[in-house]
Amino acid sequence: MSTGALLTLVALALALIIAGLFRLVAVLDSAELTLRRLVAGVRAARRAVEAAGELAAAVEHDATRGQAALDRLEALKRGRPGSAALADQNGAGPVSLPLRPGPSPL
């Protein structure tokens, strides 16, 4: 085998290695871009989970306040002990409104 043929084979092998390295760099760049997008998505998801946690806490707080308000309303509807006798006597329970005057004569 002559020196020229040997150099051609070496040059061809180096060219294939260099082409493979360029392809590897392109694949690694694509993988890096995908990884950066994935990290950005994970960060956004983490922020969304934190916001959802805060929202869930607010909803739970509002539900507790609402349940307490409903309990107070039920207690008001049932009335206090002894208020039934007042309601029977005056007709309006613990609070009664004054009577309206009749029509004025002309």
Distance CA 36, CA 70 (A): 50
Report domain extents, the chain.
Answer: 3-75
Question: In this predicted model, what pLDDT tens digit does every residue of 9-60 receive, in sequence order?
Answer: 999 999 999 999 999 999 999 999 999 999 999 999 999 999 999 999 999 9
pLDDT at 92 over 60: no
Give the rounded distance of the alpha carbon of 29 from its chain centre.
34
Query: What whole-number percentage of the chain has pLDDT above 70?
Result: 82
- The separation between the first and the last C-alpha atoms of the chain, rounded to the nearest angstrom, is 138
For the chain, the average pLDDT equals 86
Q: Please give the model's pTM, rounded to 2 decimal places.
A: 0.47
* DSSP assigned state of 82: T
pLDDT at 91 over 70: no
Distance CA 12, CA 24 (A): 18
